Amino acid sequence: GVPVPTRRSAAREGRRGPRCEGGAGGWTGGSHQSGEVTSRAPCARADPPSRGSCAKRPRSLRGAGLRMTSALNAVSGCDGFICCIGCLSLVPGLVRRVVNQVAFFPPRPPGYHVTEEKQVFLVEADYGLTPLPDLTSEGIAVDTVRMWTRRGNVILGFHFRRADSTKTLLFSHGNSTDIGIMFHHLRDLCTKLQVDVFAYEYSGYGESSGVPSEADLYSDVEAAYHYLTHDCSVPDDQIVCYGQSIGSVPSIDLASRTSVGGLVLHSAMKSGLGVIHDVKTTYWFDVFQNAARIRRVSAPVFVIHGTHDTEIPFEHGLTLYEACPREMAYDPWWVKEAGHNDIEINHRAMYFEHLARFLKALDAHERNWRKNSENDNENENEQGSENGWQPLLGGAASHNPTYNYEPMNHY
């Protein structure tokens, strides 16, 4: 039932000279090999462990013993950088604490300001304050929303709403920016694609409370998803996650654990370690494990990446595309000579054209999906489906607590 593409090889042209700005788009296959998580040390030998090596150890010590063995194996004859990270990871929480200190760059000052009277202003380049634009003449209503995350932070969001919209982009922005700086681009997405857009703020960014961390990225996007599905009653199959740069991390995580209508990855990373070092797999001590998690996504995925990206190299986009489940991989857009932050600027017309094409393809994909799964869904319940997802909220997913949110406040 799902259309089968004929240009799978085009997606791999990045290895021989990438294709750009062409083609009508389509569903393509993907390899299941890229992005697998390995619990083995980077250069550990493939020899099987001696029988009974952990047989008499207490269960509580076996995990630590195996990790120590992996680290010791990694020290012998492997990449020194990877070995150091692997050994440091034996100190509980150390790697993530370091990552949280160096991976996030909230803009200072923020791109917007909320007064005590709950008035919202955008901060201009000269640090002057401009009232939040009134877009009603363009058929757009903008709500400023305050949300409480399960980690105790208060985050904000801008909700761009159209009367004629049937889809909502759940927008996760990149680093060194915030929803105030992105305001005009978000408006253009809403106008040109004729969709609702909800852009939420990360903890520690903009006017949100807390300190940014990987764990907070996940709780932030969960709060945004909860707002859309519960407070706004948006059907989950009408939500399209859009993750740019570091925003790919919460977007992939959410799409891998709950039901969404689609996923757009713009200049996305395969993993945190992969950004600073050339790695071919996802190690157990890595952070931002996108390439591993994307294999569990049960929604169509559209990858956009510049071939000349020096911050997150093109190979990251290719790895993510190849790691997608075969039936969910949409024909990617490899943008010739584009960098990390200029695709939507220097290729603006093609940017909106490709996004519009993907959103249109989602409608056809959903019709085929429903038609082919009518007989398969009779016994499906809220505990999940054969595609591997479980509801994010309500405590159904075993690795998530029950979420308790206060009512959302609208300014």
Catalytic residue among 165, 208, 245, 267: 245
Catalytic residue among 340, 347, 354, 365: 340
Q: Which two tokens stand for residue 285?
A: 């001590």
Q: Is 340 a catalytic residue?
A: yes
Bridge partners of 120, per DSSP, are: 114
Distance from chain centroid for Cα 134: 30
54 phi and psi angles, rounded to 5 deg: -115, 10
- The helix/strand/coil state of 221 is helix
Q: Is 172 a catalytic residue?
A: no
Torsion of CA 177, 181, 185, 187, to 10 degrees: 130
Bridge partners of 197, per DSSP, are: 160, 169
Sequence-distant (≥ 6) Cβ neighbours of residue 338 within 8 angstroms: 306, 307, 308, 309, 346, 347
Q: Is 50 a catalytic residue?
A: no
Output the CA–CA distances (angstroms, integers) from residue 337 to 35, 47, 332, in the order listed. 25, 44, 15
Distance CA 35, CA 291 (A): 4
Catalytic residue among 178, 216, 286, 309: 309
86 phi and psi angles, rounded to 5 deg: -60, -40
By the 8 A CB rule, do 327 and 1 touch?
no
Residues noted as catalytic: 245, 309, 340
